[in-house]
Chain A
């Protein structure tokens, strides 16, 4: 019979991990110790308490109630494990994507140093790394929430605190990093497009497209700021959960309207350009039809978004008045 194997060093934990987990444990313990007794009980033992309550009732009727309590706890653990398993796979995939993005960034930086690609290429690669890093951070935060609640993580502004911890604010704050970095990239891209247009190598549409991307990013940042403000109002009990939800919907609808408007304007200007080209024979009627179709579609989207916004604002008004 074969001999057992010796344990290699690869099974020793990284010192960074030891320190990180230790600080996490200390923070968690301090946070839990700060909570009042009643909330600690309700937060930590919601399922077991339910099981005990069920048990008391059932025991008075029959001895078989023990199995009911165990089943409740078992179901809660089962659901938590199932959720975590799915998230673990997503984290692994995101880590793989991050590795790839980092390699692409190194490649772009080397090529830029050799003069093979413009600086914009390295900025785009940096942005990709920032985007995937942000996604990884969000997933890890969501896993921490699942560990505590055993349920799907909640991201709406009216979500309750989890054991005194505000996961929604944490994730919204983290979510600002990517659009802020993207904003820098788009500003650079816009400058490049403006220079290209000034020397006649770029169409006005290129500049306008860069301007629209800037508008979209600024709107995204503004929306995050609004949601953070709504969240704070809710935490301070200045508004209730229903109003917070409506305000969040309003912020989302408003950003949709505000980003569609410049798109409609751009598509309209493009349509005018195509009409001129058709007149002088530099473009075909099919291109004109395509441009007209695009304007019509965007106008339709804008009308729908404006209607949605009005409906939400009416509900909000009704809520305030009623």
Chain B
């Protein structure tokens, strides 16, 4: 059964959620304003489709973020990333950050093809800027366990990126990453 949406309630929700929702999306598209605005708009249009019938969710921001996440995954599954400089995609480098549109697109495309458990830990680390300790506290596991999950997830992501990015470019780059990792370990 549908019901009329209360304008005031909706606007209050909009005002209260637009900034965190936009930030969530923008971080995942490397600050690409056009794409972020489009995806946020799409998320809200879906809310207007769903809420009158099902009622406003108890946690609107969580609902919006979940829909935005699905929209992002759907977008990145179709996108074909073209990375200008694959050498910038050093997932293990201390300074690595997917904060430009092309790098975020490459990482986003890779994450959209990973298992949810692998993708979520990488998303929390790379896009939400959470530390290992924060992720460990959230998931009620030890920091060591999170480090292990991050390592395995990165490995999976690299394999996926090897397939979707131009093989020759990434192979050359992946060798460099491996070398860097070994240097750090030793």
CB distance from B98 to the nearest CB of A (A): 10
Q: Which residues of A contact B63 (CB under 8 A)?
A: none
Say yes or no: is A64 at the interface (Cβ < 8 Å to chain B).
Answer: no
Q: A190–B18 Cα gap in the complex (Å)?
A: 52
Q: Nearest-CB distance from B152 to chain A (Å)?
A: 14
Considering the chains assembled together, what is the distance between the CA atoms of A148 and B41 in angstroms?
12
User: Does B69 count as interface, using CB distance less than 8 angstroms?
Assistant: no
Evaluate contact between B75 and A88: CB separation under 8 angstroms: yes
B27 to chain A minimum Cβ distance, whole angstroms, is 5
Chain B 108-141 interface 0/1 with A at a Cβ cutoff of 8 Å (1 = within): 0000000000000000010011111010000000
The smallest C-beta distance from B185 to any residue of chain A, in angstroms, reads: 13
Q: When chains A and B are docked, how far (Å) is the Cα of A186 from the Cα of B63?
A: 54
- Residues of B in contact (CB 8 Å), total 48
Give complex CA distance A174, B132 in Å: 52
Q: Is the CB of A12 within 8 A of B10?
A: no
Q: How many angstroms from the CA of A7 to the CA of B24 in the assembled complex?
A: 10
In Å, the complex CA distance between A26 and B5 comes to: 10
Contact in complex: A5, B97 (CB < 8 Å) = yes
Across the interface, do A4 and B40 meet the contact criterion of CB distance under 8 Å?
Answer: no
Q: Once the chains bind, are B130 and A22 in contact (CB under 8 Å)?
A: no
Q: Tell me whether B23 and A12 are in contact (CB under 8 A).
A: yes
B168: interface (CB < 8 Å): no
- The answer to whether A4 and B19 touch across the interface, beta carbons within 8 angstroms, is no
A303 close to chain B: CB less than 8 A: no
In chain A between 144 and 193, which residues have their CB closer than 8 angstroms to a CB of chain B?
147-148
Query: Quick one: closest A residue to B132, CB to CB?
Result: A1
A11 partner residues in chain B, CB cutoff 8 A: 22-23, 26-27, 31
Q: Is the CB of A81 within 8 A of B10?
A: no
Check: B53 CB closer than 8 A to any chain A CB: yes
Q: A14: nearest residue on chain B (CB-CB)?
A: B33
Please pick, from B75, B128, B134, B150, the residue contacting A85 in the complex, using a CB distance under 8 A: B75
Chain A positions within 8 Å of B71 at CB level: 81
Q: How many A-B residue pairs have CB under 8 A?
A: 107
- Nearest CB in chain B: distance from A36 CB, A: 11
Q: Which residues of B contact A17 (CB under 8 A)?
A: 22, 37, 40
Pick the contact of B41 from A8, A21, A33 — CB < 8 Å? Answer: A21
Q: Are A18 and B18 in contact (CB under 8 A)?
A: yes
List, in ascending order, chain A residues with CB within 8 A of B125's CB: 4
A95 touches B34 (CB 8 A): yes
Partner of A10, one of B31, B49, B143: B31
Give complex CA distance A85, B45 in Å: 16
Which chain A residues (1-52) contact chain B, with CB distance < 8 Å? 1-8, 10-14, 17-18, 21-22, 24-26, 28-30, 32-33, 37, 40-41, 44-45
For residue A84, CB closer than 8 A to chain B, the reply is yes
Tell whether, in the assembled complex, residue A8 and residue B48 are in contact, meaning their CB atoms are under 8 Å apart. Answer: no
Interface residues of B in 3-25 (CB under 8 A from A): 4-5, 7, 10-11, 14-15, 18-19, 22-23
Q: Does A106 contact B (CB under 8 A)?
A: no
A88: chain B residues at CB < 8 Å are 35, 38, 75
A29 touching B23, Cβ below 8 Å: no
On whether the beta carbons of B147 and A1 are closer than 8 Å, the reply is yes
Bound-state CA distance A21–B40 (Å) is 9
Q: 6 A-B contacts, Cβ less than 8 Å apart?
A: A2-B94, A7-B23, A8-B31, A10-B31, A12-B23, A25-B44
What is the interface of chain A, defined by CB distance below 8 A to chain B? 1-8, 10-14, 17-18, 21-22, 24-26, 28-30, 32-33, 37, 40-41, 44-45, 77, 81-82, 84-85, 88, 91-92, 95, 143, 147-148
The 4 closest A-B pairs by CB, nearest first: A13-B22, A11-B26, A4-B129, A11-B23
